[in-house]
Amino acid sequence: MNLKKFIINLIMMTFAFSSIAEEKVLKDLNTELSVFTGMFDFSDDGKRSTLIGFQHQNENLNRDTLFGNLSPITGFLITTDNAGYIYTGVQAKYKLGALNLTPSFTPGIYHEGDGKDLGHLIEFKSELQISLDLSKTSELGFSYNHISNASLGDKNPGANSYMFNFFKNF
């Protein structure tokens, strides 16, 4: 099965599951799962690649701080060039009515596979996400991120990516 068919099937299964589980989920909304797809390093014509990823957030671990409500996140992404990034970090969520603005920072480990050489095993992802509440338990969003090694390696080309996100609370 090619990646495009896999992504379409995954999104269809996610939407089907979310409508079935909607009533049960309203009782205990402490875990948020996100599936996303987009373009890894869209600004580099030579190493641009489709990506897919998953992210987890446990709202029981949220903390109110000077910077807003912060929560830990963990996730991974993989590209069609077999590059991968696994990460854990923190995000803040700011509600603006039905819109949500969510910046995040996540250090992680990058494996280039057949994709772009980012210069180091350790990379840092800064992301800004905008999402719209579809219901009390789901959101649809768009995000932009930059992955860089902060000059830990001999080179630091970085990668700019965009994603379309679907979030579901369980």
Place of tokens 């446990």: 58
Place of tokens 């579901």: 168
Tokens of 141: 């969003």
How much of the chain, in percent, has pLDDT values that exceed 90?
Answer: 69
Tokens of 99: 């819109």
Start-end of H helices in the chain: 3-25
How much of the chain, in percent, has pLDDT values that exceed 70?
Answer: 83
73 vs 30, residue with greater confidence: 73
Query: Average pLDDT of the chain?
Result: 87
The residue among 15, 11, 38, 12 whose CA lies nearest residue 137 is 15
Question: Which pLDDT value is given to residue 3?
Answer: 64
Sorted by where each starts, the structural domains of the chain and their CATH numbers stand as: 3-14+33-46+59-75+92-169 (2.40.160)
Q: What is the pLDDT of residues 17-65, one digit of tens each?
A: 544 444 444 445 678 999 999 999 999 888 899 999 999 998 788 888 8
Question: Which pLDDT value is given to residue 163?
Answer: 97
147 vs 14, residue with greater confidence: 147
Question: Which pLDDT value is given to residue 60?
Answer: 82
106 and 87 Cβ atoms separated by less than 8 Å: yes
**Distance separating alpha carbons of residues 52 and 55, to the nearest angstrom:** 11
Residue 16: its H or E element:
helix 3-25
- Res 6 pLDDT > 90: no
Stretch 151-169: mean pLDDT, rounded?
95
Question: Which pLDDT value is given to residue 10?
Answer: 57
